[in-house]
Structure 1
């Protein structure tokens, strides 16, 4: 797992870490039981405060992505966690809200928005079928 931080993005560093780690877990790059770098090692590698990495790990744990075992480290939890599902639903809602905001600016009506969504769903199903076959 590689974490890349940007000081100019306007997003707090702990949030950037949290988002990149959770994305790696959701994508399967980090699987259940995978050990994460220690808070101190990650802080050293990223050249940031231990407090920043501690906060990122604490939020990942609170959202059900990881568990921290005192003296042992942080490990990825199974994806079937109810907290992870809630997090995924929140991401879907955020994405749909952003799409709705853009659609309103473009003066796209409900039918146009649904047509775009249907097209994206169809493309997703075709991609998934191609990956299976």
Structure 2
């Protein structure tokens, strides 16, 4: 599992880790029951604090993506397709809000923006 941390990102490191692990789970790279690296091992690999990895794992557990078994480690949870779809919809809404702001700010019509979205969606 490869996690890439960007110091220039506006997102906190724990959020970058959580987002990348979510992505690996949702695209099938990581599958249900697969063990994740221990918090210490991942912290050492990324040269960051264990507390940062702990926060990412806590967020992933809260969101239902991983399960942590005391003394055994953290594992990819069985997929909850409805939750995963809801998570993706939330991400899409955030991105579309940014697109709408850009369109309104720069005088780009709704029709032009909708055509662009349609083009990307059908690609």
Q: TM-score, normalised by structure 2?
A: 0.89
CA distance in 2, matches of 1:78, 1:95: 27
Give the RMSD, CA atoms, in angstroms. 1.5
Map 1:37-116 onto structure 2 (within 5 A). 37-116=37-116
- Aligned partner of 1:18 in structure 2 is 18
Match of 1:36 in 2: 36
Measure the CA separation in 2 of the matches of 1:81 and 1:61: 16
| Cα distance in 1 between the residues matched to 2:10 and 2:108 | 30
CA distance in 1, matches of 2:87, 2:15: 14
Distance 1:77 1:111 in 2: 41
Count of residues in correspondence between the two structures: 123
TM-score (structure 1 length as normaliser): 0.83
Q: Which runs of 5+ in 1 are unaligned?
A: 124-133
CA deviation vs aligned residue, 1:88-117 (integer Å, no higher than 9, x gap): 121111121122122223312222222112
Matched, 1:4 2:4: yes
Which 4+ residue blocks in structure 1 deviate beyond 6 angstroms?
none
Secondary structure, aligned partner of 1:79 = coil
Unaligned runs of 5+ in 2: none
Equivalent residues of 1:5, 1:16 under 8 A apart: yes
